[in-house]
Structure 1
């Protein structure tokens, strides 16, 4: 296993029930027959209630140049799930997250673009931030703060072009994600659940 941020970045491979069955290098895992693996999607709001949208870097192997939710990523093998979310959001966007909660613990999808497939169990989270973005240009082309209500309406009526997973997630998310209670972490896929020994009584 590689430590987060050191050496080759790896992802956690899953069976259909969400149990870890191995690891793979991220650089080679996405292709025409991508195996199911663990990921996340995070929707980050500022304290005025605006959503941060990001446009994927043009050099990314999967779905380059598309507008999508704030951040997507993969927890490293052995890394606590929420720690992985915070790390990737910090690396990609330079943001520190407050009030990080899981809203769609069992979301999963498969999507294809130009012969490359994404195939993920991808819990969806919401958070707030008081920090301003500092972009990793290898991951994010540009960002924009927008009204959640306007963005959601555009996605739902089909007038807003976004990544396929973002469209499915917006359809499944509550009308007001910031007001929605978080789901228990034991509803996450088994590979993403906290170690019982790490949970305080």
Structure 2
């Protein structure tokens, strides 16, 4: 089945489930708020793994984003779904992931006309020697980058980055600032 035909969980502004619809319908203008996840992968040196989204992506193709993103199935387990996507996109299915917060955003893709309106759970994993093996239908390129450099680049060239990346990084920053974070 095409990923566009799979179901996503619709949520209200508080993240409570209110129904489901297909990926395609959720991302058709004006967009419907639905549950999603964004995974940040960090190496031992504190660098972030960024992926350049493949040209065939239906939303924000060719833009740089966090390690991977996706949608859990309705009533599905968030960490399990994120681990599955890490394996599908990067061949990294065995990374332990920790939820660190939520970022809600809405963004219109000017190229495809599709809309991201997501209740985005941010998960973080540490990479220790694992070598990504990206699926070329998902990922055009990968690179490791210093988080401060990424923040500056997103601000200077927002058209080169996924519109959710700055918010996802802000959630991670807030989680690190908390005691025990």
TM-score, normalised by the number of residues in structure 1: 0.76
Larger gyration radius, structure 1 or structure 2: 1
Q: Provide closer, same or farther for how the CA distance between residues 134 and 44 of structure 1 changes in structure 2, counting only shifts above 3 A.
A: same
Classify 1:65/1:177 alpha carbon distance in 2 versus 1 (closer, same or farther; 3 Å).
Answer: farther
Tell me the secondary structure at the aligned position of residue 156 of structure 2: coil
- Runs (4+) off by over 6 Å: none
Alpha carbons of 1:24 and 1:181: their partners in 2 closer, same or farther (altered >3 Å)?
farther
Q: How far apart are 1:39 and its partner, in Å?
A: 0.1
Does 2:105 correspond to 1:109? yes
Query: Matches of residues 110-189 of structure 1 in structure 2 within 5 Å?
Result: 110-114=106-110, 115-130=113-128, 131-155=130-154, 157-159=155-157, 161-174=160-173, 177=176, 181=180
Which has more strand, going by share of residues? 2
- 3-state SS of paired residue (1:107): strand
Which moved further from structure 2: 46-55 or 35-44? 46-55
Q: In structure 2, the residue corresponding to 1:170 is in which secondary structure?
A: helix
Partners of 1:89 and 1:177 in 2: CA distance: 22
Q: How large is the Cα RMSD of the aligned pairs?
A: 2.9
Gaps of 5+ in 1: 183-201
What is the CA–CA distance in structure 2 between the aligned matches of 1:45 and 1:15, rounded to whole Å? 31
Aligned to 1:31, the other structure's residue is in SS state coil
Of 43, 48, 60 in structure 2, the residue corresponding to residue 46 of structure 1 is: 43
Is 2:59 aligned against 1:62? yes
